[in-house]
Amino acid sequence: MKAVSIFSGAGGLDLGFQQAGVEIMAAYDNMAPMVQTYRQNVGVAHQVDLASCDFNRMRDELALAGDLDLVIGGPPCQGFTSAGAKFWADPRNALIRNYAEALRILHPRWFVMENVEGLLTAAKGRYLEETLKAMIALGYSLAVKKVYMQEYGIPQRRKRVIIVGNREGKRYAFPQPIEPASGAIYRNGASTLRDAIGDLENVVDAAIDQVPVAPTALQAARIRALLPGQSMKDLPLTLQHDSFSRRAHRRVQDGTASARRGGAPSGLKRLQYDEPALTITSAASREFVHPVLDRTLTLRECARIQTFPDSFRFCGTKSQRLLQIGNAVPPRFAALLAASILQADQTAAAVVPQGLVAAQLTKSTGVSPALQRTLALLQPLTVQQLNLDI
């Protein structure tokens, strides 16, 4: 299969698809450091503004004589509340509008769209509804799933929404979990933080971004006081951040003090070796403390948790490199996803009508009011009863 990648970032999704045997013809992103990283590690990449991209020109430059096999990528979800025609006219929704435009013009047989968990309930479900309606109107049958990355050998508790579309009526099934998670935290059979970074404890190597940063005196005191699994709220008051108590007791929009919602954001948190890590974000190297060493994580340790190989080198400033790592799809999961699409493409019969075929949106036995609202909006789009149970 041949693919075009848009909103490619540093190329975590693309690297996994490439490892599974998909040929990435070209990638497109608007951030120069990400494009540079992609070129150095994955392949051909172009810096373009995807909010105003000419996809007809892109098609001509790619010399696409026939149907393209696959489009992959993850346009950022802004979550605005416009609906119907207003949704697509709203300039703030230009990125998702142009993703749909890419599908219309490049006309791939398959597509994969990755996004954050918040996509499911953004704009009270309307964002997802409008997005899926546009894809169905282009002739696609769709499968949507909230993926728990720790179930697929990723040493990290990370949730992402994946939409897979096919316009040939082929039935698609997401890859089966390697090690199903029965709860928020589990200890047996998981790919753990120790598996990912245990061998880096005594390694210092600037070439791979394995450079421990010495903490300030105050930060060092906080770090020393944290046991595995503890966060800022577990520190003595003398070591807590000045704003922590104030934030812990502030009232949010509905009048409930955040102390009654579990307290303030955790800030520093010491991770645990024998569990998957917490979600790696662009703040991970400032907030996540090594499980046994009195320092925060290095960039390479964050990249390892995201399953990037050590040969993958990130370009740009430190903050730009960490943003690339935190925004990426773990390549290990991407390879499994690609393999499931390849299998469906080769074996599935063309029997599925266009529409929403499967929506697996939660592992919980209960459904939140926000998710119930989304499901009500999606029900008219479905060709079968929605499956809530993974």
For this structure, is 77 an active site residue? yes
In the chain, residues under CATH classification 3.90.120 are 193-327
Rounded to 5 degrees, φ, ψ at 147 are: -100, 135
The reported pLDDT for the residue numbered 365 is 74
In the chain, residues under CATH classification 3.40.50.150 are 2-182+330-381
Architecture of domain 193-327: Alpha-Beta Complex (3.90)
The reported pLDDT for the residue numbered 85 is 72
Catalytic pick among 53, 77, 302, 315: 77
**CA 263, CA 258: separation in Å to the nearest integer?**
5
The reported pLDDT for the residue numbered 389 is 36
Tell the CATH superfamily of the 2-182+330-381 domain.
Vaccinia Virus protein VP39 (3.40.50.150)
pLDDT band at 213 (very low <50, low <70, confident <90, very high): very high
The reported pLDDT for the residue numbered 66 is 80
Residue 131 has pLDDT above 80, yes or no: yes
Instruction: Provide mean pLDDT across the span 176-181.
Output: 84
**CA 318, CA 238: separation in Å to the nearest integer?**
31
Cα dihedral 202, 204, 207, 210 sign: positive
> DSSP of 240-296, one letter per residue?
S-TTHHHHHT-B-TTS-BGGGGT-S---SEE--TTSPBPPP-TTHHHHEEPSSSSSB
pLDDT band at 219 (very low <50, low <70, confident <90, very high): very high
Q: Are 111 and 103 in contact (CB under 8 A)?
A: yes
More confident residue, 92 or 41: 41
Tally: H helices and E strands in the chain? 14, 10
| One-letter amino acid for residue 297 of the chain | L
